[in-house]
Each structure stands twice: as C-alpha cells, then as structure tokens.
C-alpha cells in the first residue's frame, strides 16, 4: 500500500471535515495520557501539571454542586428551581464521573507497572531530586512503590527466604548472565499514530528508514518512537 496515494485520495473525503481538530480540552489531554500509559511498555513520566489542574477543577465543580443543591433546597417550594436546572446539575455530575473514570484508568495502569517493575523503578528513581517538578512518579506513587516492596519482601522472607543461605536471598542479583530485576522491554512493538504535519523519519537500523506521515498508523518498536511520544508528535493508539 502506498501511503502517499492513500493520503491524497483521502484529502478530499468528507469525513476529514468531520474530524477537524478542535482545541485541546483537559479531557483530550487525559485521554492521550491514559492511552499512552496503557500502551507503553514502560512507566511514562507522571503528568503532574495535568493531574493538578484536573483535580482542582473537580473540587471546584463539587463545590458548585454543593452550593447548587443548597440553593435548590432553599428555593424548591417557590418554584424557582426548574427541571432544566436539575438537568444541568446532572450533566455536571456525569462529567465529574467521566473524568474520574479516566483518572482511575490512568492511575491503575501506572500501579500495575509499578507492581511489575518495582525494583527497577526503585533504582531508577533513587537519585531523583525529591523536590523536582518532573519526577517520574507522583509522591503518592513513590510511597506506594516502597510500601509495596516492603510488604513483598516481608512476605518472601517469612515464606521461604529466611530458610535459605544468605547468598541466595537476594532479590536483585544481576550476576551470572541472569538479572532478577524485571525491566520493561522497550523493544516491544506498539501501535502509533503520527499527529504532526512534518514527516518523522525514524531509523530502523542497517540503513533502513521509515517515514511516519500525519495520520498514518504504524506498528514499530516502542524505543524508536519514544522521544516523539514524549513531545507529543506521535500518540499511541
């Protein structure tokens, strides 16, 4: 399939108009963050700013709902409160629920990777500046990770490690050509879509190259598009 042909042919198609780019909303940003996190083999940097913004908005909306319900109770008898008003509150509540759901999906995906690669990320984040704004994990996740590891090692110790000779009790031994530390495999293939107008050329090694064009869908090794994902030119799908 020649991609240029396809693109040209589709340029005039009607649905193109329909999927026109709308200004990015917090919702869109959350969806991209959630899907990227779901599809990436490794843990992506925590979206500190985005989450802060969204959580602040949620509490704003909740305050608004509280106030409105109070207003509704006070004015219920006078007939000021219309069905429309209730409908609007219902929509606001549903919106909060929907955002909540997305955040939950995002966080659960992250926790599952923290569980899977605990020792690896403990090592990775060991030298991070605790006050830095671009830490890989949120402070709650940091805490979770260390607690999780503590509980796990305690369980291992009680169950069997304490009965083994000391040299066999390591959980992070990397000698002898076999690493005990489970790491994310960055060579795993992933589905991606380019969302930038300028073509992206990635090297496949051995003089082989691949051009990612706008709206094109590809399966490539995660490692090759990792940087483009972090700047947002490529999204995972």
Task: Please list every residue from 81 through 100 that binds other proteins, using CB under 8 A.
Answer: 84, 87-88, 90-92, 94-96, 98-99
CB atoms within 10 A of CB 110: 20
Element (H, E) at 193: strand 189-194
The distance of closest approach from Cβ of residue 212 to other proteins in the complex, given in angstroms and rounded to an integer, is 9
41 binds other proteins (CB under 8 A): yes
Closer Cβ to other proteins, 80 or 134, answer by number: 80
- Least Cα distance to 109 among 27, 41, 54, 26 occurs for 41
Q: What is the DSSP letter of 150?
A: H
- Least Cα distance to 229 among 4, 221, 210, 108 occurs for 221
Interacting residues with other proteins between 115 and 174 (CB under 8 A): 115, 174
208 binds other proteins (CB under 8 A): yes
195 binds other proteins (CB under 8 A): no
H helices present in the chain, as ranges = 3-11, 14-18, 26-39, 48-75, 83-116, 118-124, 139-159, 222-231
Question: Which residue in the block uniquely carries the two structure tokens 């009607």?
Answer: 14
180 binds other proteins (CB under 8 A): yes
Interacting residues with other proteins between 48 and 67 (CB under 8 A): 54, 57-58, 61
Tell me the C-alpha distance between 19 and 178, whole Å: 49
Q: Pick from 71, 156, 160, 191: which binds other proteins (CB under 8 A)?
A: 191
183 binds other proteins (CB under 8 A): yes
Sole window of 68-76, 120-128, 160-168, 204-212 interacting with other proteins (rule: CB under 8 A): 204-212
Q: Pick from 141, 145, 200, 216: which binds other proteins (CB under 8 A)?
A: 216
């Amino acid at each position: 399939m020649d991609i240029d042909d396809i693109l040209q042919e589709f340029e005039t198609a009607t649905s193109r108009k329909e999927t026109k780019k709308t200004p990015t909303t917090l919702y869109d940003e959350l969806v991209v963050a959630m899907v990227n996190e779901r599809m990436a083999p490794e843990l992506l940097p925590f979206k500190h700013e985005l989450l802060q913004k969204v959580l602040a908005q949620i509490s704003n909306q909740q305050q608004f709902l509280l106030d409105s319900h109070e207003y509704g109770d006070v004015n219920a008898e006078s007939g000021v409160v219309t069905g429309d008003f209730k409908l609007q509150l219902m929509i606001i509540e549903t919106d909060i629920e929907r955002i909540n759901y997305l955040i939950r999906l995002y966080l659960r995906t992250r926790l599952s990777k923290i569980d899977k690669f605990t020792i690896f990320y403990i090592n990775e984040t060991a030298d991070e500046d605790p006050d830095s704004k671009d830490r890989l994990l949120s402070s709650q996740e940091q805490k979770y990770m260390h607690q999780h590891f503590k509980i796990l090692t305690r369980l291992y110790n009680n169950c069997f490690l304490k009965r083994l000779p000391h040299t066999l009790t390591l959980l992070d031994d990397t000698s002898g050509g076999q690493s005990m530390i489970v790491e994310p495999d960055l060579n795993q293939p992933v589905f991606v879509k380019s969302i930038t107008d300028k073509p992206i050329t990635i090297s496949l090694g051995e003089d082989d190259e691949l051009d990612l064009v706008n709206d094109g869908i590809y399966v490539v090794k995660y490692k090759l598009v990792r940087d483009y994902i972090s700047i947002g030119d490529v999204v995972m799908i």
